Amino acid sequence: MSAPAATFRAARRIDWLAMAALVVVALLAVFALMPGVVAPYDPIALDVVNRLKPPSPAHPFGTDEAGRDIFSRVIYGTRYSMGVALAIVAFAAVFGTLYGVVSGMAPRWLDNLMMRIVDMVFGFPALVLALAISAAIGRGLDSVTLALSLMWWPGFARLVRGEVLRLKTEPHVETARALGLGPVTIMWRHIVPFVMSAVNVRATTDIGYALVAVTALSFLGLGATSPTPEWGLLIRDSRPYFGSAWWYLVFPGGIVMLTATACSLLGDALDARKGA
Amino acid sequence: MLEVENLTVSFSGRDGRAVAVDGISFSVAAGETFVIIGESGSGKSLTGMAIAGLAPEGARVGGAIRFDGQDVVGLPDARMRRVRGRQIGIVYQDPLGALNPVHTVGDQIAEALRVHGLARGREAMARAVSLLERVRIPDPARVARSYPHQISGGMRQRAVIAMAVACNPKLLIADEPTTALDVTIKAQVLDLLRDLKAELSLTTLLITHDMGVVAEVADRILVMYAGTVVEVGPAASLMDRPAHPYTSVLLASAMMAEAPPQTALTVVPGGTPPLGAMPEGCRFHPRCPRATARCRAEVPVLRGVGGGQAACHHPLVETPEDAL
Amino acid sequence: MSLLSLSGVEKHFRRNSKAPQVRAVDGIDLEVGVGETVGIVGESGCGKSTLARIALRLIDPTAGRVRFDGQDVTEDGIRAMQPVRRRMQAVFQDPLASLNQRMTISQIMSEPFSAHGLKPEGGVEARTRALLENVGLGHIDTGLRPRQFSGGQLQRIAIARALAVEPELIVADEPTSALDPSIQAQIVNLFLQIRRERGVAMLVISHDLDVIGHISDRIVVMYLGQIVEEARAADLLAAPLHPYTQALLSAAPTLKARRARSFRRQILQGDPPNPADAPPGCRFHPRCPLARDRCRSDPPALRTLPDGRRVACHFAPDETLATGQETGRSRLGLGAVAPALRVERRGAK
């Protein structure tokens, strides 16, 4: 016996923050897909005459110690930083969802075993794993991707398992069981579709976090190698010039912050829509 | 005491405005129990909330609500809060939601007394305990020290009632006060409300969908359907001789126990129309067994029928004009 | 011939390993005959919904047996249960929640056929139409999703779907409780119609004595996980023998009785106790006007009386029949409330 207001959906107020976040993400997508169109210079071409120049109309973000255009390097870097973050989250979401669904539907003993494994992975320090992997297969974005993917999925697995356990007692799932539908049908038709909205929210938000993690590992020297214009590496390279060339740190750092914030806002907006 | 004139509650939405309560008027006399009965989508709860100054966000309230002669529509929040706390007590359907989980029951009642300057310090707590006793809570001192989750649903609803009457309000608004309760507890709370009314000479505005509850406590009844008043009148005559076909349907569905077992009950097809899809003419006509072409075209207005008023072109009871 | 038979069924829950054990269902024997409608009535926490889920084999009982058509299905796995599920269907309280909101009505209606590999004559589409027409929804657009229908329409859809596999038993858990009064009456009529047309047996669970009284052949009253009384509907309503049943009847009198100026109901003191902390002896004794020392220590057995009724009270029927008869009469507004059972309330005038 709900109030009539509930049956009449009020016009959704436009969420300007979410719109702004969407614009940022759309721009990043353009940068990643066709950096050549946006960037005025070659990201690795040296121009020693113009080293460490402050921002100007010709070089909006200034130049670095080798005279490379920082604006162009940031644009080209989108592909590396965002690409790696996307790959990590995509793997984590797919694997974690499958793992969580299986665990949630499995008999008690198997569920317990699978969750203990998740706890173990959660407890393993990411940095140690990243160090170990880069020691094994060499320093580079590949090892960063591998290390973070292996670390990232348990979050999804836990989220999905929790949702599955909750959904299993929902009336529509009970009804489906009473109707005589098999467990596989129930899982695919009556449980997984309802888990996906939570997974989408989490994935959107996590892209931002994964990006920060990728840049952090590169900053620590475990990720991309010169002259790849990866954002974390840009920040690492800027360290000696922090006092004299503020733009070198501020612009790459700012773009990382902006992207992570945009992902987080988009995730919130998705979450709000899910509830509506 | 309470006069409601041409009250409207509307929401603006994607497809224009939706009017959930569409120009209803009534008045409640001091000391009476006035019941608004209706099903979901009738606008009964919105009406109650509008009177309490608690219309949901986004709702626009129009018309006049005069409380002791003072119009409270559009009163600033701070002023409305004073009126609400001192002069209007409210009892909701869900007692757990109405109580603050992190304070004890006694603290919450004492707080209400303090805010309105009716008691201070220890005295407030003592008054709170005596209020709990007044609503027939056994061992009131213990309950006063309990948190809401530590007491049963029936106790909680009693505590909410104690809080609502703490400041000796002139008007008690009870919105589905027994709906969430078990049958035997429902009976206890109904009896309590009836006794309190006599003891405190409360004026009560009761909002419910349950004709059984109405039968026990109502002095006058107002029947709402799809945001409009379809019938209003003294309880006895309205229940004996309903004039509006919808009223008779509500009565029939409350008389399942009187029907011969396992026989088909009297029903009308369909349900309340959704907001934004109101039928032309009389809003009940698509479900009404007596509907004619006139009902489809012309909106019926409230007029004197039997002992009260009904908005129907073909009432089940003779109108004074018909009798002439 | 009993279609569904529960014997000695118990279900114990434990919120966590340290919490006390809750006996939500505590030793229930219950039969539903072919074509029979049995109503279970009781307040929240009495275990009636848990019992429905055990009967449907949605949860496993801690002890006891569930038999369907003579066959013990208590330990049957998913595969073995499949043919039984076709013969036993469910309808739940909240129709919006019990339908998958991402599916269209036609997808929802086709599930029972695919679940049991049935190929109805004339195709699923035509059969769906006929089923919906049968429940009074011949006109609806089956391409729409549940959100676009009202609660009453959705409950009809849920019922139509349960009927698709032509079950012999329908277990309905609070099928009218989420609906408006005028819609409740429609659904009650629909259950009666289905039963008349198809001879389906029903196990209907509700807190609403009016609904249960109207549609049942036999009524079972539960209190704190146990059956306290069971009788043919007419007998139970005319003369309830257990003091708790008497209180239930007295709490929900007819409209006519409520309107009587002299109307005064029998008020039960206190709240239903927490199932985790059930009183010793007769579980009803703390609230019972007849309680004596014996009730505090000696739990009454559910005895079968010569006329076939079952009641779990030490003093029934000798000491309860007269008040029971009067309760039955006063519920209908035919007399005053039995004075012997009037419990004086604290502070009452």
Q: What is the mean pLDDT of each run of 10 residues along chain B (324 residues)?
A: 91 77 92 93 91 85 88 81 81 84 91 83 89 89 91 88 88 89 86 86 92 90 95 92 93 89 89 87 93 94 88 82 53
Question: Residue A276: is its pLDDT beyond 90?
Answer: no
Neighbour count for residue A61 (Cβ, 10 Å): 22
C80 reaches A (C-beta below 8 A): no
**Distance (Å) from the alpha carbon of A268 to chain B's nearest alpha carbon:** 22
Lookup: tokens for A224 = 């991309």
Touching chains, C (3+ CB pairs < 8 A): A, B
How far apart CA C295 and CA C283 sit, in angstroms, is 8
Q: Which two tokens stand for residue C162?
A: 């349960």
Token reading at B36: 């608004």
CA distance C274 to chain A (A): 23
Q: Mean pLDDT, to the nearest integer, of A96-123?
A: 92
pLDDT of residue A138: 80
**Average pLDDT along chain C, 349 residues, taken 10 residues at a time:** 92 80 90 96 90 94 94 90 93 93 94 91 91 92 93 95 95 94 94 95 95 96 95 94 93 84 70 80 91 92 93 91 88 59 35
Is the separation of the CB atoms in C112 and C160 below 8 Å?
Answer: no
B window 225-284, beta carbon within 8 A of C:
236, 239, 249-259, 261-269, 271-272, 274
Assigned domain for B75 exists: no
Q: Which of A1, A5, A12 sits opposite B56 (nearest CB)?
A: A5
CA pair distance C70, C3, nearest whole angstrom: 7
Whether the Cβ atoms of residue C221 and residue C229 lie closer than 8 Å to each other: yes
Q: State the pLDDT at residue B201.
A: 84
How much is the pLDDT for A226? Answer: 78
Q: Do C97 and A1 touch (CB under 8 A)?
A: no
Instruction: Write the DSSP string, chain A.
Output: ---HHHHSPBPPPP-HHHHHHHHHHHHHHHHHH-HHHH-SS-TT---GGGTTPPP-SSSTT-B-TT--BHHHHHHHHHHHHHHHHHHHHHHHHHHHHHHHHHHHHS-HHHHHHHHHHHHHHHHS-HHHHHHHHHHHH-SSHHHHHHHHHHHHHHHHHHHHHHHHHHHHTSHHHHHHHHHT--HHHIIIIIIHHHHHHHHHHHHHHHHHHHHHHHHHHHHTTSS--TT---HHHHHHHHGGGTTT-HHHHHHHHHHHHHHHHHHHHHHHHHHHHHH-
Residue type, A90: A
Q: C161 near C105, Cβ under 8 Å?
A: no
Q: How many whole angstroms separate alpha carbon B34 and alpha carbon B20?
A: 21
CB contact under 8 A, C184 and B253: yes
* Subunit partners of chain B (3 or more CB pairs within 8 A): A, C
Q: Would you call A178 an interface residue with chain B, using a CB distance cutoff of 8 Å?
A: no
Distance (Å) from the alpha carbon of A171 to chain B's nearest alpha carbon = 20
* Chain C residues closer than 8 Å to A183 by CB: 78
CB within 8 Å: B14 and A9:
yes
Across the interface, whether the CB atoms of C255 and B272 are under 8 A apart is answered: no
Check: CB of residue A68 under 8 Å from CB of residue A45: yes
Q: B266: which chain C residues are within 8 Å (Cβ-Cβ)? A: 185
User: Alpha carbon of A58 to those of A46, A68, B38, B259: distances in Å?
Assistant: 15, 12, 72, 90
Nearest CB neighbour to C100, from listed A1, A183, A190: A190
Closest by alpha carbon to B161, among B125, B123, B197? B197
Report DSSP state, residue B103.
Answer: S
Contact C169, C56 (CB under 8 A): no
- What is the distance in angstroms between the CA of the first residue and the CA of the last residue of chain B? 34
Residues A8, B18: C-beta atoms closer than 8 Å: yes
Rounded CA separation B93/B175 (Å): 6
> Above 0.85 for ipTM, yes or no?
yes
Q: How many domains does chain B have?
A: 1
Which residues on neighbouring strands pair with residue C170, listed in sequence order? Answer: C89, C202
**Mean pLDDT score, A135-161:** 89
Q: At what angle do helices B183-200 and B153-165 cross, to 10 degrees?
A: 20
Q: Examine residue B226 and state whether it is found in any structural domain, yes or no.
A: yes
Chain B, window 6-35: residues with a beta carbon less than 8 angstroms from a chain C beta carbon: none
Token pair, residue B267, equals 């029903």
Give the mutation candidate from C38, C137, C176, C182 for the B interface (greatest B CB count, under 10 A): C182
Query: Is A276 in the B-facing interface, judged by CB distances under 8 Å?
Result: no
Burial class (CB in 10 A: 0-12, 13-18, 19+), C79: exposed
**pLDDT of A110 over the 60 cut:** yes
Q: Which of C81, C94, C102 lies nearest to residue A171, judging by beta carbons? A: C94
Please answer yes or no on whether B40 and A11 come within 8 Å at the CB atom.
no
Mean pLDDT rounded to a whole number for chain B: 88
Length of chain C: 349
Contacts of A among chains (3+ CB pairs under 8 A)? B, C
Chain B / chain C CB contacts < 8 angstroms: 131
Looking at chain C, which residue has its C-alpha nearest residue B237?
Answer: C259
- Residue A14 reports pLDDT greater than 70: no
pLDDT value at residue C337: 45
Q: How does pLDDT run across B257-292, given as a tens digit for each residue?
A: 888 899 998 888 888 888 878 899 999 999 999 999
Chain A environment of B42 (Cβ under 8 Å): 4
Q: Which residue has the tokens 């009738």?
A: B42
Q: Which amino acid is at C137?
A: L
CATH number of A4-45+61-275: 1.10.3720.10
- Whether the per-residue pLDDT at A114 is higher than 80: the answer is yes
Q: What is the least distance, in Å, from the CA of C214 to any CA of chain B?
A: 5
Q: Would you say residue B309 lies in a domain?
A: yes
pLDDT of A12 reads 52
Q: Which residue of C lies nearest to A191 if distances are taken between CA atoms?
A: C100
Q: Do C111 and A174 touch (CB under 8 A)?
A: no
* Cα nearest neighbour of B212 on chain C: C255
- The whole-angstrom separation of Cα B257 and Cα A181 is 38
pLDDT at B216: 87
pLDDT at A134: 82
**Out of A172, A183, A193, whose CB is closest to C98?**
A172
Beta-carbon separation of A4 and B59 below 8 A:
no
Alpha carbon of A235 to those of A87, A130, A228, A251, B245: distances in Å?
22, 19, 12, 9, 77
CA atoms within 13 A on the CB side of B205: 28
Distance from CA of B319 to the nearest CA of C (A): 25
Q: What is the pLDDT of residues B72-84, one digit of tens each?
A: 887 787 888 777 7
Mean pLDDT in chain A?
86
Ordered alpha helix ranges (H), chain C: 48-55, 78-87, 105-115, 123-134, 151-163, 181-198, 209-215, 233-238, 243-251, 255-259, 293-297, 321-331
Whether B149 is in a domain gets the answer no
CB C175 within 8 A of CB C204: yes
Q: Quick check: A174 and C98 CB within 8 A?
A: yes
- In which domain, by residue range, is B263 found? 219-324
Which residues of B sit within 8 Å Cβ distance of A?
A: 11-14, 18, 20, 39-43, 45-46, 56, 58-59, 176, 179, 209, 227, 274-276
Touching B: A residues 2-21, CB under 8 Å = 2-5, 7-12
pLDDT at A4 over 70: no
The closest CB to that of B46, out of A3, A7, A9, belongs to A3
Residue A170 has pLDDT above 50, yes or no: yes
